[in-house]
Amino acid sequence: MAKGYWVSVYPAISDPERLTAYNKLAGPAVRAAGGRTLARGGGRVVAHEAGITQRVVLIEFGSFEQAVSAYESEAYQKALVALPDGVERDFRIIEGID
């Protein structure tokens, strides 16, 4: 079974405090749903073409369905409430290659 991944890119963070509040809720929600953070940050990034060097987060789940379920979970939806106004985010859930 192919794994599932959350890929998040943050083109703009105008309110870092809101991001911190989101992270305090999102981290436990992701771990409880079986997610494992593979990469997070913006420290060492080499961007090509239209890529950006801002914060990028990559989270792995056991399956695509598990990744979707984690996003839809009550705990993660509560975390999202902390996010909207201070952060611009490009988020997607993708299926890995078996």
- pTM for this structure? 0.90
pLDDT band at 45 (very low <50, low <70, confident <90, very high): confident
Nearest partner of 55 among 43, 66, 63, judged by Cα: 43
Task: Find all residues with CB under 8 Å of 95, minimum gap 6, and list them.
Answer: 2, 3, 4, 5, 64
Percent of the chain with pLDDT over 70: 99
- What is the pLDDT, as a whole number, of residue 91? 96
* Domains of the chain: residue spans and CATH: 4-95 (3.30.70.100)
Residue range 3-18, pLDDT digits in tens:
999 999 998 889 888 8
Confidence of residue 63 (pLDDT cuts 50, 70, 90): very high
Q: pLDDT at residue 43 above 80?
A: no
